[in-house]
């Protein structure tokens, strides 16, 4: 009689070179797992490969690690028992027959992005509030920067202490951003779809990078929840200075933030950060809110000569008499790539980066760590972590 786990065939389809050291680790830990690697380079269109994957490559696979490449039909993967995505979400494959017509367990790499994305949030927020463009221009001009206009502007810098961060979607990324924000003296409030009114319900049950996040849900001073406009507006009305958008993209969250929501946030001239998906924000509404603030407080953007148009003595603290949003940092847009002539590029006080906030040297290894945790759980007959609930869309 043979003992131990049954042989497994792991198919890995990724848009980069084979992670050989990681494969060696898996072979040592799980000698019963055969690994097949297939590279798939991507076009500029998100999630779209430059070539088609031969359907027969999936025939013998029992395990699949992928970004977006899936079997064309359920018939092409008769042995497949688990699919692990190296992304935090699965909205990009929600129309695949594997997603809609099978019950194959799907897991994500949610939980690995918190450290690097929180640093990106911190980077872009402080670059905006501390007028880094001005400081960089002084260095570029070899100037010690003692002009009165620049120093007048810097006297208006508001630090984070006492400001309020609203986290719209308190998942693994929101928890790490919340942790960092609280360490800087901010008050943190959280919004989730479902109520978190017990200590157990506030726990993070997904993958956690050691030493990060908010495992027990202790960071927020207050929790809000709901799925309708009234609940959302109640949360947005809590004197939020900085809104972090970190909800998954679903039909319900598409254009979740539009004109009404911008108007509520404008009461504090809030700063918006989006690290989720571009479709969650109505971009024309965002542009209008940024322009409204800029029209009343002249642009803080640099002129060609390195100077600012703003009055150095102007008080640009949150003022209910001034409409609009003071700024935004967007790592995601709609569409992607953002066309060169899109008006979002020229929106005042808006930082745009090309969906790179989650990138880092530890990314791939952490993706596989989540997969390995689930291999261990699978062997022990335990519930997998980071499971996708198809009914919710995440």
Taking only the tens of pLDDT, the chain with its 394 residues reads 456 789 999 999 998 899 999 999 999 999 999 999 998 876 655 556 556 788 999 999 999 999 999 999 999 999 999 999 999 989 889 999 999 999 999 999 999 999 999 999 999 999 999 999 989 989 999 988 866 667 777 888 999 999 999 999 999 999 999 999 999 999 999 999 999 999 999 999 999 999 999 999 999 999 999 999 999 999 999 999 999 999 999 999 999 999 999 999 999 999 999 999 999 999 999 999 999 999 988 554 444 444 444 444 444 555 568 999 999 999 999 999 999 999 999 999 999 999 999 999 999 999 999 999 999 999 999 999 999 999 988 8
Find out whether 77 and 105 touch, Cβ atoms under 8 Å.
Answer: no
Q: In angstroms, rounded to a whole number, what is the distance separating the alpha carbons of residues 390 and 106?
A: 9
Phi, psi of 311, deg, nearest 5:
-65, 120
Q: Kindly report the pTM of this predicted structure.
A: 0.89
Find out whether 254 and 261 touch, Cβ atoms under 8 Å.
Answer: no
* Residue spans of beta strands (DSSP E) within the chain: 8-14, 33-39, 63-66, 82-85, 106-107, 164-168, 187-192, 222-225, 242-245, 271-274, 327-330, 350-352
Q: Looking up tokens 């007959």, which residue turns up?
A: 381
CB contact burial 291-327 (16+ within 10 A = b; e otherwise): bbbbeebeebeeeeebebebeeeeebeeeeebbbbbb
First vs last C-alpha separation in the chain = 41
What angle separates helix 132-140 from helix 114-129, to the nearest 10 degrees?
70
Phi, psi of 39, deg, nearest 5:
-75, 145
Residue 123: half-sphere exposure toward Cβ, Cα within 13 Å: 13
């Amino acid at each position: 009689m043979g003992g131990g786990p049954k042989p497994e065939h792991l198919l890995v389809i990724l848009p980069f070179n084979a992670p050989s050291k990681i494969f060696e680790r898996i072979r040592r830990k799980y000698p019963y797992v055969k690994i097949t690697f297939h590279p798939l380079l991507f076009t500029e269109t998100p999630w779209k490969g430059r070539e088609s994957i031969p359907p027969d490559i999936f025939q013998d696979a029992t395990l699949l690690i992928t970004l977006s490449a899936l079997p064309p039909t359920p018939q092409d993967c008769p042995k497949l028992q688990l699919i692990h995505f190296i992304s935090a979400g699965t909205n990009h494959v929600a129309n695949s027959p594997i997603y809609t017509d099978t019950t194959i367990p799907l897991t994500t790499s949610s939980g690995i992005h918190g450290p690097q994305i929180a640093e990106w949030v911190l980077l872009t927020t402080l670059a905006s509030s501390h007028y880094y463009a001005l400081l960089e221009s002084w260095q570029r001009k070899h100037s010690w920067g003692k002009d009165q206009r620049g120093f007048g502007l810097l006297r208006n810098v508001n630090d984070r202490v006492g400001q309020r961060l609203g986290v719209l979607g308190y998942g693994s990324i929101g928890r790490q951003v919340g942790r960092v924000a609280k360490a800087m003296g901010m008050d943190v409030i959280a919004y989730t779809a479902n109520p978190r009114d017990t200590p157990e319900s506030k726990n993070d049950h997904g993958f956690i990078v050691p030493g990060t996040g908010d495992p027990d849900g202790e960071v927020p001073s207050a929790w809000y929840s709901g799925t309708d406009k009234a609940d959302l507006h109640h949360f947005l009305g809590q004197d939020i200075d900085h809104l972090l958008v970190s909800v998954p993209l679903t039909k319900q969250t598409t254009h979740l933030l539009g004109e009404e929501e911008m108007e509520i946030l404008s009461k504090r001239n809030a700063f918006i950060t989006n690290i989720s998906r571009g479709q969650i924000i109505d971009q024309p509404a965002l542009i209008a809110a940024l322009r409204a603030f800029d029209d009343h407080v002249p642009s803080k953007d640099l002129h060609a000569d390195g100077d600012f148009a703003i009055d150095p003595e102007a008080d640009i603290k949150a003022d209910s008499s001034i409409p609009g949003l003071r700024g935004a940092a967007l790592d995601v847009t709609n569409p992607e790539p953002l066309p060169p002539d899109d008006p979002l590029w020229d929106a005042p006080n808006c930082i745009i980066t090309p969906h790179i906030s989650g990138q880092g040297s530890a990314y791939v290894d952490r993706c596989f760590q989540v997969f390995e945790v689930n291999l261990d759980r699978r062997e022990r007959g335990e519930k997998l972590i980071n499971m996708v609930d198809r009914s919710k869309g995440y």
